[in-house]
């Protein structure tokens, strides 16, 4: 897995991702504590609303950026988004009203929505070999998981000597270092996608490719299950630990670190597991596990009233959900790469970014509002039902047999250049790696 680090450009980009994620993780802990400081027992509802606003920014901005990402200067654009996020993070310590949280989160996450798809679409161009790219995906997932583990642990250590407001400074430092690392390398130029329509056609191209591809519809359903679990953890950990169990801000960080520890364990094991079992069985099994874990924790929440007994159960449950979450979402980059030509890849990555965050747009406020209004058991059970729905839809939408090379027929005149590909021998039926594009607009049955 570590062989890809020999590539200097990828090494610097991965380092940029890691430091930015650690900064973001510090902000996640600080934001939860800020919400609890301003809203008390209603912190879950405030966090749920703030994160729903984040999802609105992602859904609205990412497809537009994806449509024009192949025309933007990659390095300058990524650095500009990092600096925008730095400026917003510097303002967060001075928030004293709930509405201010909402405004700043929208600006911050709009910049992230522009940054992330462009960053993700750059990696396949830096590492064109599929084995290298597979290893890079595992390292990328590991970076996210290290953020889930290291950021809360770092936050726990810092909170013993400073106020949580100062954690936002760590976020700013992370974004500045990320920008410097991006500046330090030369990024490959994006492959311009063909311009076959107006703004509407370009901004929806990635979405249309995505939704016309069966395996990606299955990916979206698995993402819904993953969003249900992660929303429960991110939105309600602070309420459970501080409000129900009466524990400290440091314990909030430890609970989030347990979730990250499970994710790391899964990320380290996934390359071997995926090679043996394939992406579909692993991802759908992980989604089903999330539904079972959420339902089980909901029942335990109802039955175990003693804080001393519930605390270790919560840590074990968060660890297990982190493992299943990582197994559900890590292979998504492989599926996206399989399903799009190089020119369409930025738009398809942006579509995944927007559609996946539409799942979180449902899950975040539902977890927060139910937790605040109906109790934690209701929130757990609702998230379990959402994860179960995602699992069932994935089973239906994602064919068990999903080959990359697909025989198909074209209604093209004899001698068309495309018919010479894939062994057509002048016939209209041929086979090649099938992807939705201008010549292949419907998936063959």
The pLDDT of residue 296: 93
Residue ranges covered by each domain of the chain: 2-188+202-397
Q: Which pair of tokens denotes residue 57? A: 């920014």
Q: What pLDDT does residue 155 have? A: 64
- What would be the CATH architecture of the domain defined by 2-188+202-397? Up-down Bundle (1.20)
SS3 labels along 51-110: HHHHHHHHHHHHHHHHHHHHHCCHHHHHHHHHHHHHHHHHHHHHCCCHHHHHHHHHHHHH
- CA 148 to chain centroid, in Å, comes to 13
So what's the pLDDT on residue 381? 94
Asked whether the CA dihedral 398, 401, 403, 409 is positive or negative, the reply is negative
Report pTM. 0.70
Ranges of the chain with pLDDT below 70? 1-2, 25, 28, 32, 41, 47, 62-72, 117, 130, 134, 137-138, 141-164, 190-203, 305, 346, 403, 406-441, 443
Model pLDDT, residue 420: 60
Tokens of 232: 């429960």
Q: How far apart are the first and last CA of the chain?
A: 37
Q: What is the pLDDT of residue 314?
A: 92
Tens digits of per-residue pLDDT, 322-381?
999 989 988 887 788 787 777 777 678 778 877 887 888 889 889 888 988 888 899 999
- Distances from the Cα of 102 to the Cαs of 53, 55, 105, 164, 392, in angstroms? 7, 12, 5, 18, 34
> To the nearest whole number, what is the mean pLDDT of the chain?
78
Report CA Rg, the chain: 22
- Cα–Cα distances in Å, from 78 out to 26, 85, 157, 221, 347? 21, 11, 31, 30, 16
Q: What is the pLDDT of residues 248-258, one digit of tens each?
A: 877 887 888 88
């Amino acid at each position: 897995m570590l062989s890809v680090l020999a590539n200097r450009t990828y090494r610097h980009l991965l380092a940029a991702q890691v430091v930015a994620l650690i900064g973001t993780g510090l902000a996640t802990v600080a934001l939860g504590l800020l919400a609890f400081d301003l809203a008390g027992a209603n912190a879950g509802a405030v966090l749920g609303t703030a994160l729903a606003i984040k999802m609105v920014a992602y859904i609205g901005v990412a497809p537009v950026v994806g449509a024009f990402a192949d025309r933007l200067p990659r390095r300058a654009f990524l650095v500009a988004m990092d600096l925008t996020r730095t400026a917003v993070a510097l303002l967060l310590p001075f928030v004293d009203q709930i509405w201010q949280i909402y405004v700043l989160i929208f600006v911050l996450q709009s910049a992230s929505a522009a940054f992330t798809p462009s960053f993700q679409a750059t990696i396949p161009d830096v590492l064109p070999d599929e084995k290298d790219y597979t290893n890079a995906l595992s390292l990328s997932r590991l970076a996210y998981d290290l953020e889930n583990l290291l950021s809360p642990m770092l936050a726990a250590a810092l909170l013993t000597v400073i106020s949580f407001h100062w954690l936002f400074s760590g976020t700013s430092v992370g974004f500045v270092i990320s920008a410097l690392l991006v500046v330090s390398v030369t990024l490959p130029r994006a492959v311009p996608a063909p311009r076959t329509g107006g703004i509407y056609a370009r901004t929806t191209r990635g979405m249309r490719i995505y939704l016309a591809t069966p395996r990606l519809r299955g990916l979206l359903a698995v993402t819904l299950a993953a969003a249900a679990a992660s929303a429960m953890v991110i939105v309600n950990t602070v309420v459970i630990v501080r409000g129900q169990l009466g524990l400290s801000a440091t314990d909030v960080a430890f609970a989030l670190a347990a979730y990250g520890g499970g994710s790391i364990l899964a990320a380290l094991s996934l390359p071997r597991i995926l090679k043996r079992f394939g992406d579909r069985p692993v991802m759908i099994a992980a989604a089903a596990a999330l539904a079972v874990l959420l339902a089980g924790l909901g029942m335990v929440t109802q039955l175990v009233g003693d804080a001393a007994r519930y605390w270790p159960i919560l840590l074990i449950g968060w660890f297990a959900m982190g493992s299943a979450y990582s197994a559900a979402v890590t292979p998504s980059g492989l599926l996206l790469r399989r399903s799009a030509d190089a020119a369409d890849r930025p738009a398809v990555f942006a579509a995944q970014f927007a559609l996946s965050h539409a799942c979180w747009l449902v899950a975040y406020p539902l977890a927060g509002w139910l937790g605040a209004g109906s109790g934690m058991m209701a929130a757990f059970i609702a998230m379990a039902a959402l994860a179960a729905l995602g699992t069932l839809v994935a089973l239906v939408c994602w064919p068990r047999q999903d080959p990359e090379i697909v025989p198909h027929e074209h209604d093209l005149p004899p001698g068309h250049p495309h018919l010479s590909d894939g062994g057509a021998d002048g016939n209209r039926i041929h086979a090649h790696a099938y992807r939705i594009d201008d010549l292949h607009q419907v998936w063959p049955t």
